[in-house]
Amino acid sequence: MLTLASDFGSPYPAAMRGVILAQTDDVEIIDIAHDFPRQNVRTAAFWLREILPWFPPAVHCAVIDPGVGTDRAVLAVDAGEHVLVGPDNGLLAPVARKLADDEPRWYRLQEPDARSSTFHGRDVFAPLAARLHGRRNESLKSESNLVEHASPVDLSFPTPTIDGDRIVGEVLVVDGFGNAITNIPGEHLDELMGREVRVNGESVPVGRSYASVEPGARLVTIGSHQNVELAVNRGRGDAAFDLTVGDRFSLEPGVDVVEEPFEESG
């Protein structure tokens, strides 16, 4: 199994498929996405981390590569039962750590030989992924042309700042529905379901599902990535909260939350 991800749009990924299929006829190729925001390594790194772990062991070839044609390294990574292939710009760092329990092994391709300097997806990464897909199930260490790569470019996402009840988080990405996915672990909402929180000071209900509020209304929920998500039922959370990627915001319990567990009989 070999997955492809890129910011190439259409029709360039088809050339990558052609190259792989011309090189090996026994491969199942799966597109993760080819419409990642152009040359936005950070957003693609987030999605790769969230999506690739759902797959069975595979070779994953991901190319968001603003430095194509420069001397940035061409990477292959042993990440648990998965192999990752992509440019050395941080793109693979978060998913590699997640797949490999923090111990990925990094290699780089020696002397990449590219037909073009502008489309390494087709000319370098796809052929390398096809070759690694075809090998026996050994470590990449024994592959010719690969050498250990000591210091891959790192990329990590910020952690939220917690100050008592007040958390300052950041929007990591906005998905196609307009949900603002943040870096605050969803568990912070566990005790607040059905109540209200304040987002940048404004009261917003907390719900398990989008439909827990009226269509068009805002809510705070636990998204499918287990992070706090700022959303609107059947609408766009990013617009309604006026927050986009990289924006920071504060999250506090709502003023209306008065816990008086011992006064039930009162």
Q: How far is the CB of 201 from its own copies (least distance, A)?
A: 25
Nearest CB to its own copies, comparing residues 54 and 262: 54
Please tell me whether residue 118 binds its own copies under the rule CB under 8 A.
Answer: yes
Which of 166, 191, 174 is CA-nearest to residue 225? Answer: 174
Which of 173, 143, 165 is CA-nearest to residue 247? Answer: 173
Choose which of 75, 79, 99, 123 interacts with its own copies (CB under 8 A). 123
Please tell me whether residue 161 binds its own copies under the rule CB under 8 A.
Answer: no
Please tell me whether residue 18 binds its own copies under the rule CB under 8 A.
Answer: yes
Nearest CB to its own copies, comparing residues 161 and 226: 226
Nearest CB to its own copies, comparing residues 143 and 175: 175
The torsion angles phi and psi of 193, rounded to 5 degrees, stand at -60, 130
Nearest CB to its own copies, comparing residues 69 and 163: 69
Q: Judged by CB under 8 A, which stretch of 104-112, 153-161, 173-181, 251-259 contacts its own copies?
A: 173-181
The torsion angles phi and psi of 78, rounded to 5 degrees, stand at -85, 110
Nearest CB to its own copies, comparing residues 116 and 139: 116
Please tell me whether residue 175 binds its own copies under the rule CB under 8 A.
Answer: yes
Q: How far is the CB of 173 from its own copies (least distance, A)?
A: 11
Choose which of 110, 139, 156, 226 interacts with its own copies (CB under 8 A). 226
Please tell me whether residue 95 binds its own copies under the rule CB under 8 A.
Answer: no
Choose which of 176, 194, 201, 261 interacts with its own copies (CB under 8 A). 176
- Which residues in 72-91 contact its own copies (CB under 8 A)? none
Please tell me whether residue 37 binds its own copies under the rule CB under 8 A.
Answer: no
The torsion angles phi and psi of 52, rounded to 5 degrees, stand at -60, -35
* Count of beta carbons in the 10 Å neighbourhood of residue 149: 17
Question: Is the CB of residue 199 less than 8 Å from the CB of residue 241?
Answer: yes
Please tell me whether residue 224 binds its own copies under the rule CB under 8 A.
Answer: yes
Please tell me whether residue 8 binds its own copies under the rule CB under 8 A.
Answer: yes
CA angle 48, 64, 33 (to 5 degrees): 50
Judged by the rule CB under 8 A, the positions of this chain that interact with its own copies are 1, 3, 5, 8-12, 14-15, 17-19, 21-22, 25, 30-33, 35-36, 38-39, 47, 50-56, 66-70, 115-119, 122-123, 175-177, 208-212, 221-224, 226, 229, 234
